Amino acid sequence: MHIRPILSAMRRNKVGAFLIALQMALTLAILCNSLFIIEQRLTLMARASGVDEDNVFVLTNQWVGTPDDLNARIATDLAGIRSLPGVVDAYPSNSYPLRGGGWSDGVMLADHQVHPNTHTTLYFADEHALNTLGVKLLAGRNFSPDEIGSRAENSLGHPPVVIVTKALADKMFPDGSALGKTIYVEDGPTTITGIVEKLQTPWVSNSFGEKFPENSMLEPYHYMVSGYHYVVRAQPGQLDAVMKQVQKKLLEINRARVMVKVMTYAEVRAEAYRNYRGLAIILGVVCTSLLAVTAFGIVGLTSFWVTQRRRQIGVRRALGATRRAILFYFQTENVIIAAAGAAVGVALAVGLNLWMVTSFEMLRIGPAYVLVGAVAVMLLGQLAVLWPALRAASIPPALATRAA
């Protein structure tokens, strides 16, 4: 097969060849970046929270009015919850992993630093928190009951001890000496008394949640406000039953409350990553639609070319060209157009990614995505051109000549 006749035929159909190449270039640019974004989102959605998600649920409790005996009410509630069959443990908190909202602050190695070393989320917890969440204590110890204090809303706190995640400990002390060290948080010194393996922040979609997903700190407080969260862990396989029992028990203890939200951790995760999932679905639909439009465009234009070249095909068949040769002719023509479109598409893909990197703080796209995208677009072109090419190859020489 000689390339010169193919190039000569393409010069007589410049507009059509240009449109196909342009369409394939745009498809490649959008496809590569969309798949890269989808892969990033799926990776983030698969992150472990550090919580025993199969057996933990959260209940948001809101008291009616502004009671002045919150400490006693919380203690009574916790005693009632922990006494229920199937309950492993429970504790109250201001927030929990993947919630979408909570407290955060800078962490420093020295008092009055101008810029913090890093940032962390602040979870209020008691001595039951680690057992409730199911997190693994890697070093140090848990809180003791006498260390648990009370914390009002918007009040300053200077906890004597804190428990931090390994990610936060390694960030502050890369040499692995975090246990027992003093750090400064909320404008005061505190000592790291324990290090847990993993505990994700409440945020997943903003810069804090994406840059420091596991920088978490447990502070020994009960949250003394009218609205807070009970985190409860059930025995394996008893989650649904325990959720119903806990709600019933709390209403028996005191009905002057509203249980604003009761969610399993599967529901918490689904809510936290709803936007990520939606974006992945939308981009998936866009990619599928682009591929379909590109394929149909190639089929339509190639079919038009076949109709225009019936005389040319007939003459070649009469001169001895086989069906395989005609088929190879159109496939080679498509490869040339697709290669030109892929070359432009690679440049567009990289340029689009660089723009998103500077505008939205995204990661650089890897060369593998561009390469796979280019191969995929070229294979798509070959598949799309196959039916018109087979149709051209099946034209009898005599019929093609008469039709001319």
With a CB cutoff of 8 Å and minimum separation 6, the contacts of 83 are none
CA distance 103 to 211: 16
CA distance 156 to 151: 8
Look at residue 175 and give its three-state secondary structure. coil
pLDDT at 21: 84
Residue ranges of alpha helices (H) inside 58-195 are 70-82, 129-133, 166-172
pLDDT at 191: 95
Question: Burial level of 358, CB count in 10 A (0-12/13-18/19+)?
Answer: exposed
Which H or E element spans position 231? strand 227-234
Query: 14-45 and 3-11 are packed helices; what angle lies between their axes, rounded to 10 degrees?
Result: 100
Q: If we measure between CA atoms, which residue out of 50, 155, 156, 164 comes closest to residue 107? A: 164
CA distance 226 to 27: 54
CA distance 41 to 51: 20
CA distance 343 to 360: 26
Q: Which residues in 281-375 belong to E strands, given as ranges?
A: none
Query: 14-45 and 274-308 are packed helices; what angle lies between their axes, rounded to 10 degrees?
Result: 160
pLDDT at 44: 86
Strands 118-125, 216-224: pairing kind: parallel
pLDDT at 404: 44
CA distance 107 to 233: 30
Which H or E element spans position 122? strand 118-125
pLDDT in tens, the chain (404 residues): 467 666 666 666 677 778 888 888 888 888 888 889 898 889 889 889 999 999 999 999 999 988 888 999 999 999 999 999 999 999 999 999 999 888 888 999 988 888 889 999 999 999 999 999 999 999 999 999 999 998 887 777 778 999 999 999 999 999 989 999 999 998 789 999 999 999 999 998 765 556 788 999 999 999 888 899 999 999 999 999 999 999 999 999 999 999 989 999 999 999 999 999 999 999 999 988 988 888 888 788 777 766 666 666 666 666 666 777 777 777 787 788 888 888 898 899 889 888 888 877 678 888 888 888 888 888 888 888 877 777 777 767 665 555 44
**Alpha carbon of residue 27 to chain centroid:** 23
Q: If we measure between CA atoms, which residue out of 210, 223, 121 comes closest to residue 164? A: 121
Residue ranges of alpha helices (H) inside 236-322 are 239-253, 265-272, 274-308, 310-318
Residue ranges of alpha helices (H) inside 216-273 are 239-253, 265-272
Q: 134 and 56 in contact (C-beta within 8 Å)? A: yes
In terms of residues, how long is the chain?
404
Question: Rounded to the nearest 5 degrees, what angle is found at the Cα of 122, between the Cα atoms of 152 and 205?
Answer: 125
Which H or E element spans position 191? strand 188-196
Look at residue 306 and give its three-state secondary structure. helix
Q: 243 and 259 in contact (C-beta within 8 Å)? A: no
Give 189's Cβ-side CA count (13 Å radius): 7
